[in-house]
A and B are shown apart, each in its own frame.
Chain A
Amino acid sequence: SQKIEQNSEALNIQEGKTATLTCNYTNYSPAYLQWYRQDPGRGPVFLLLIRENEKEKRKERLKVTFDTTLKQSLFHITASQPADSATYLCALLGNTPLVFGKGTRLSVIA
């Protein structure tokens, strides 16, 4: 069955450093991969989308890579700030509706 794994439940980093979150998947061939941010008590908010034929996508301090050979996406936040603290979800879209990973809770410590 399809499986999505986000590398860890929680990640703590120092302000100013680059946060790197990992999303791995098996038994799936997604056409698109998306990343969302979720703050406590709120619904997820879309951040970035990357297509299967794209290697990298950037938006301000965010960067996403997509390696269909390794079946992995990396999500980077450069110059992280305490306001970046949230849970980040990866989601895959292919022949089935969007499938979400369980998320990684990022804490940026000042």
Chain B
Amino acid sequence: NAGVTQTPKFQVLKTGQSMTLQCAQDMNHNSMYWYRQDPGMGLRLIYYSASEGTTDKGEVPNGYNVSRLNKREFSLRLESAAPSQTSVYFCASSETGTGGYEQYFGPGTRLTVT
């Protein structure tokens, strides 16, 4: 039981390049999330998927796209990377419904855009 896995762990991009961050969970959770974490800003929600086939914008969606490939996998794409997207990206998953279910986080992807 690996929990939430993310690839890659580290990435350096040049401005304008594109890339996809991959996330997978093996806990059969319905909901998945993408966050970015910047010094002094805390964790901010980029996009989330409450269930397979649905995606919604979070607090900071500009410059990103997501795909909920199936129940296990949720990817985040940067079409044209900008230095402002230098950050640590975390994927998370949780149960859905009433109950305030906790989120399980992956180890993060450290992205630098030069």
Contact B42 A89 (CB under 8 A): yes
Total interface residues in chain A, CB < 8 Å? 20
Question: Does B63 interact with chain A (Cβ within 8 Å)?
Answer: no
B-facing mask of A40-71, CB < 8 A → 1, else 0? 01111110010100000000000000000000
A-side contacts of B104, CB under 8 Å: 46
Question: Does B48 interact with chain A (Cβ within 8 Å)?
Answer: yes
Question: Does B105 interact with chain A (Cβ within 8 Å)?
Answer: yes
Contact B100 A34 (CB under 8 A): yes
Contact A102 B42 (CB under 8 A): yes
Range of interface residues on B (Cβ < 8 Å)? 20 to 34
Give the residues from 61 to 110 in chain A that come closer than 8 angstroms, CB to CB, to chain B: 89, 93, 97-103
Q: Chain B: interface secondary structure? A: strand
Question: Does B74 interact with chain A (Cβ within 8 Å)?
Answer: no
B-facing mask of A11-55, CB < 8 A → 1, else 0? 000000000000000000001101000000111111001010000
Q: How far is the CB of A52 from chain B (nearest CB, A)?
A: 9
**Residue of B40, B43, B44 with most partner-chain A CB within 10 A:** B43
A-side contacts of B40, CB under 8 Å: 102
B-side contacts of A43, CB under 8 Å: 4, 90, 92, 105-108
Contact A49 B43 (CB under 8 A): no
A-side contacts of B41, CB under 8 Å: 102
Name A's B-contacting residues (CB within 8 A). 31-32, 34, 41-46, 49, 51, 89, 93, 97-103
Give 3 nearest A-B pairs by CB, closest first.
A32-B100, A43-B105, A102-B42
